[in-house]
Amino acid sequence: MAELNAEFRGYRSPLSTRYASKEMQYLFSDQHKFSTWRKLWILLAKAEKALGLDISEAQIAEMEKHVEDIDFKAAAAEEALTRHDVMAHVHVFAKQCPLAAPIIHLGATSCFVGDNTDLLVLKDALDQLLPKLVGVIKQLAHFAMQYRELPTLGFTHLQPAQLTTVGKRCSLWIQDLLMDERALRACRDNLRFRGVKGTTGTQASFLQLFAGDGAKVRQLDQTVTRLAGFERYYAVTGQTYSRKVDLEIVSALASLGATVHKMCSDLRLLASRKELEEPFEQTQIGSSAMPYKRNPMRSERCCALARHLITLQANAANTLATQWLERTLDDSANRRLTLSEAFLSADACLLTLLNISQGLVVYPKVIERNIAQELPFMSTENVIMAMVKAGGDRQVCHEKIRVLSHEAGAQVKQHGKDNDLVERIRADPYFAPILGQLSSILDPKTFTGRAAEQVVEFVTEEVNPIVALYADRVVTKSAQLNI
């Protein structure tokens, strides 16, 4: 039995077993990492051969034949002896490729494969996240347009305030997500390759390989960069590319986490008021003890993962801050955790948020009832203005409204009854001149200002151009979520 359950006898990250997509998990897998190392050794050999070094096509072909078939047990055994992960994989690859063994890793330092692989993974991970993020934006934009005119209570200090609309509130979430898209796209567009820089970034080993020909060394850097799919490389590095790059990317991801947390906290508050709900499946159970409950578990999951994502920014900042001179190795273990968990957490947040955004449920009658409890108080200034226009004295009217408002407030707060201010106004002969106008005075749509127009302008001018950038790459459907 122990053997059958062996996979459950050690720690497994919930990001892998529950939350993140298989595609994002693969980017941070050992198979992808070490096969990319081998691809980089092949690119280096091809570029060195093109620039005149004695490397044969047969050697390159032999390496290409063994890119994916990695003997992980042999590599682990080698690393146990050498205490060096790169050299362990060099030795294993060399045994598989005896002809190419003399030229594998020629002139390179460990960070040639380590850092360049990280940069390739970061680029691909950003390319995976951005279409998902824009997919969420697109879904929410449809929702905002659909409900752009539906009045709802606005809140400041979590207290009822002037009315807004359901769609306008959603546009505030979208605006933050657009800022995240811009930041992540900038990270993606600004990302460069480390290239071939040598032990401390001076390219001394490559200069020796090419007999002091600096032009060839520079061309080697350019060629490997281009073969790896990058347009530019970092002109100067230490042994590693600057950890400022990691900080910029993780900071952008942490900022996305803050956006997700804010939006999903709003959804949870609205769910508690029964105005808005996330999708709830037919067989879903909200509570083991309370069968009636419909907990906002997806939004809660997003908040939980987002909090973890937000904290990772400090790790990236501290790693940059503590890189002594040309580099220290205390970044390695930290980055294995921070970079992978930042992307896996962001991926999980977006997958869940996409599921939420394509199935939000609005309850207009509940919203209408909640408005009815507060709008009479908010409309008192309009009532006063109408009475003044009908010939009334403002100060007298103000006192009448003040007394009636306090009486209605007592009914609500002390007796738990509905707000009956409107009925009290209708029953007072003083307000007879405006009774025919009360319905229009209390129409919630007259209290939302330009909210509906703002949503249309926002979606047309700011959202749609960003969605268009991604064309058919936008992810708009989420798979069934894991528990």
Q: Which of 157, 288, 415, 439 is catalytic?
A: 157
- Taking the CA atoms of residue 358, residue 257, residue 184 and residue 114 in that order, the dihedral angle to the nearest 10 degrees is -120
Q: Which of 56, 272, 287, 332 is catalytic?
A: 287
C-alpha dist (Å) from residue 130 to 14, 21, 177, 392: 23, 14, 11, 60
Are the C-beta atoms of residues 171 and 455 closer than 8 Å to each other? yes
Question: Among candidates 312, 320, 319, which has minimal Cα distance to 345?
Answer: 312
Q: What are phi and psi of 138, to 5 degrees?
A: -65, -45
Question: Among candidates 162, 145, 227, 221, which has minimal Cα distance to 464?
Answer: 145
DSSP H helices in 4-109:
14, 22-27, 30-50, 57-65, 72-82, 85-96
In whole angstroms, what is the distance from residue 218 CA to residue 202 CA? 11
Are the C-beta atoms of residues 144 and 171 closer than 8 Å to each other? yes
Question: Among candidates 472, 249, 235, 471, which has minimal Cα distance to 339?
Answer: 249
Are the C-beta atoms of residues 335 and 319 closer than 8 Å to each other? yes
The whole-angstrom distance between residue 15's C-alpha and the CA centroid of its chain comes to 14
Active site residue 251: no
Question: Among candidates 439, 388, 272, 342, which has minimal Cα distance to 125?
Answer: 342
In whole angstroms, what is the distance from residue 297 CA to residue 445 CA? 33
Active site residue 16: no
C-alpha dist (Å) from residue 137 to 123, 141, 260, 458: 21, 6, 12, 12
DSSP H helices in 358-389:
364-378, 380-389
Q: How far apart are the first and last CA of the chain?
A: 25
Angle at 74 between CA 72 and CA 78, to 5 degrees: 115
Question: Among candidates 190, 46, 194, which has minimal Cα distance to 113?
Answer: 194
Q: Which residues are designated catalytic? A: 157, 287
